[in-house]
Amino acid sequence: MKEVTLKQIAENLGISITTVSKALKNYPDVSKKTKALVKEEAKKLHYKPNVFAVNLRTKQSKTVGLIIPEVVHHFFSSVVNGIIEHAEKKGYLVIILQSNESYKLEQKQIDLLISKRVDGIMISLASNSTDISHLQEVRDLNIPMVMFDKISKLIDCSKIIINDRKAAYVATKHLIDSGCKRIAHFRGALLPQNSIDRFLGYKKALEDHGIQYDPSLVYICERVDYKDGIEAAKKLMSEHDDIDGLFCITDLVAIGAISVFNDNGIKVPDDISIMGFSNWFISSAITPSLSTIDQPGYKMGKATFKTLLKEMKAKRKELPFKPITKVLETKLVVRNSTK
Amino acid sequence: MKEVTLKQIAENLGISITTVSKALKNYPDVSKKTKALVKEEAKKLHYKPNVFAVNLRTKQSKTVGLIIPEVVHHFFSSVVNGIIEHAEKKGYLVIILQSNESYKLEQKQIDLLISKRVDGIMISLASNSTDISHLQEVRDLNIPMVMFDKISKLIDCSKIIINDRKAAYVATKHLIDSGCKRIAHFRGALLPQNSIDRFLGYKKALEDHGIQYDPSLVYICERVDYKDGIEAAKKLMSEHDDIDGLFCITDLVAIGAISVFNDNGIKVPDDISIMGFSNWFISSAITPSLSTIDQPGYKMGKATFKTLLKEMKAKRKELPFKPITKVLETKLVVRNSTK
DNA sequence: TTAACAGCCGAAAACGTTTTCGATTTTTTA
DNA sequence: TAAAAAATCGAAAACGTTTTCGGCTGTTAA
């Protein structure tokens, strides 16, 4: 049971390997008759080109790499969804790696992808990635790369993002518009740009609407998850009793907070209005359903791959490529956790 | 700016390519002195082997394929997590494909993976995959394959599963033990084995405990999601008023049902006890928190890859490999939606 | 009749690695 | 000191494809 190769077909037909190869790829200097013959024989033998040889010869793998902080995560899995669907359509396969929010791992994985010779790399940074020499290496090797969501401004490459600051502004403004006067904010860790930007949007909205910014109303959620939300809410309750609005950096944090309020007889949204962020789909399934900002994960994945594709094409044709930055629209989603 | 190759190193050192190759791989017939020289030079030039050439020569890609019905799904993303983590440790990369529960797509993707010459394939079947000729092809080509969670009994390969029937039995028994007499079941579609097995477990538990099985208490949720849960719950409410227990095929269905009961003044668990299935982590975040069956996604991913690895190793050594079936333990998780 | 040309085909190099096997040198043994 | 054994190296084939370039045939134009 041997592999079917060009050689095999050539021998069967009594012609050269060259002609077989060219016939299968519709080169103009092969007669219609031979083309038909070759194609028929290829089909008969179930010929499939050996990708290993093709890769070696063409110097491309038709494979792209994707690094995300977490796989088990609604937003990122939506991005993955958008990416692999469009990649497959264009004949590319996707290798997925998870940095676990670790800078060290991220660095290793970049090396892995480079040594695997993927045609391009898509990455959303780990929160603690401040050193970016590994990313610079990708640029230096002239490997197409697109960053999305969690990006670094220090690297010159294409970027697909949302305007976190603006979105947070809209979220906070919605709380203000619905009558909230004392609005707390559960923010993320101090370093990640997302966390900073959302905080700044919150602050700006307050200031623009005549509400004094009060640092004691801002709580830090390091891991930005359900438990963080619970703890921050408990702390908030013990330290303040006049809060009527809360903007959380994540739906998950918001859900944690809601559960605390539910347990303590604080009515949402009557006593306190709550905004989440992401529109993780479970936010429509809790009680009360959560008002939030829709973060378009699928679209981001799609745009990320399409941009990478352009860059890969340009590279193959040895054309210059100017990195672009695309800002995707977010949407305010009003449900029952706000008035 | 040329690529660094073995040839390059050989020329620099005035020795042969063969020796360089062997030195880097610690062949015994290279002197310590040359080895040191070669390694030093390799490091100096940042030599990285060309995987394309290695693949061609060794006939393996050190890459495995993974096909799942859905990426944006808590259980499957947990499996993905378990797989890619352990694969990376062993030097394998993972290509992820999503069948979108479509048999047609699944078939194409298998072909894709075959033509990419992955070293092995892991797959959880689409619900409507009854024809399994594409899987048989994988077997025929002697490509290592492991099926997990949604499997087909007709294919002779390794399988990693849970005992759905037993788990459903435990879930239903928990309802019975806590005093429920009239227990409804929101099941999945008619075809998928999971759906059938969970239904059978439910039925068996009733029968074993002297409760008459009543077909009118079983509702079908085609898509097994939140909306299905809502609709089934509404229907249940309109058709029956004596239900005191409900076992749902999925946490998501259960959450949908709970929201309906919440809205209609039906107290959970006082009026009706509810069991989910999966222990999707949001189930601890809703009110009331959901009692459920823990389905070990991460462990399943880990076991799936490890089994595949064994099979790949056996193949390389041309040893026979006897497919195994591993049944992972599930756990009853009691929270506040049951008494 | 010759030159030019189009149409068709194949030899051969190249991609970069791995591995077999034989050659050469050095060391050990008798 | 000669023979045997060990240590070290390299030539070359192989993996299967793509592509350049030149050759051959037969037709057309001058």
Please give the pLDDT value at position B103.
92
Angle B6-13/B32-44 helices, nearest 10 degrees?
120
Q: How far apart are CA A115 and CA A16, in angstroms?
A: 35
**Structure tokens belonging to residue A170:** 């809209």
pLDDT of residue A237: 96
pLDDT tens across A137-162, in order? 999 999 999 999 999 989 999 999 99
Contacts of B52 in chain A (CB under 8 A): 52, 55-56, 59, 61, 117
Nearest-10 crossing angle of helices B17-24, B32-44: 90
CB contact under 8 Å between A81 and B94, yes or no, is no
**Residues in chain B where the model's pLDDT stays below 50:** none
B57 touches strand C (CB under 7 A): yes
Per-residue pLDDT reduced to its tens digit, A104-143? 999 999 999 999 999 999 999 998 777 889 999 999 999 9
Among B231, B230, B236, B225, CA closest to B185: B236
**What was the pLDDT predicted at B62?**
97
| Residue-level pLDDT at A2 | 79
Answer for the pair A276, A254: CB distance below 8 angstroms, yes or no.
yes
Per-residue DSSP letter, A72: S
Would the CB atoms of B88 and A226 count as touching at under 8 Å? no
Name the CATH superfamily for B60-161+298-328: Response regulator (3.40.50.2300)
CATH number assigned to the domain with residue range B164-294, chosen from the 4 options 2.40.50.140, 3.40.309.10, 3.40.50.2300, 3.40.50.800: 3.40.50.2300
**pLDDT attached to residue A1:** 63
Low-confidence ranges of chain A (pLDDT < 50): none
A3 CB and strand C closer than 7 A: no
* Chain B CB contacts of A112 below 8 Å: 88, 93
Domain boundaries, chain A: 6-49, 59-162+298-328, 164-294
Domains A6-49 and A59-162+298-328 belong to one CATH topology: no
**Distance from C-alpha of A119 to C-alpha of B34, rounded to nearest angstrom:** 35
d(CA B167, CA B149): 13
Per-residue pLDDT, B1: 63
- Residue A17: CB less than 7 A from any atom in strand D: yes
- Neighboring chain A residues of B49 at a CB cutoff of 8 Å: 115
Name all contacts of B231-234 with Cβ < 8 Å and 24+ positions apart: B231/B256, B232/B186, B232/B256, B232/B257, B233/B186, B233/B257, B233/B260, B233/B261, B234/B260
Amino acid residing at A19: T
Residue identified by tokens 């062949």 is B27
Distance in Å from D23's C1' to A19's CA comes to 15
Q: How far apart are CA B97 and CA B116, in angstroms?
A: 13
Q: How many CB atoms lie within 10 A of CB B81?
A: 20
B275 in Cβ contact with B293 (< 8 Å) = yes
Residue with tokens 């997990």: B148
* pLDDT at B33 (0 to 100): 94
Picking from B50, B66, B68, B71 by the largest number of A CB atoms within 10 A of its own CB, the best residue to mutate is B71
Q: Where are the alpha helices (DSSP H) in A6-98?
A: 6-13, 17-24, 32-45, 51-58, 74-89
Which residues of B in 116-135 have their CB below 7 Å from strand C's atoms? none
| Predicted pLDDT at B191 | 87
**Domain made up of A59-162+298-328: CATH architecture:** 3-Layer(aba) Sandwich (3.40)
The CATH code belonging to domain A6-49 is 1.10.260.40
DSSP string spanning B226-272? HHHHHHHHHHHHHH-S---EEEESSHHHHHHHHHHHHHTT--TTTT-
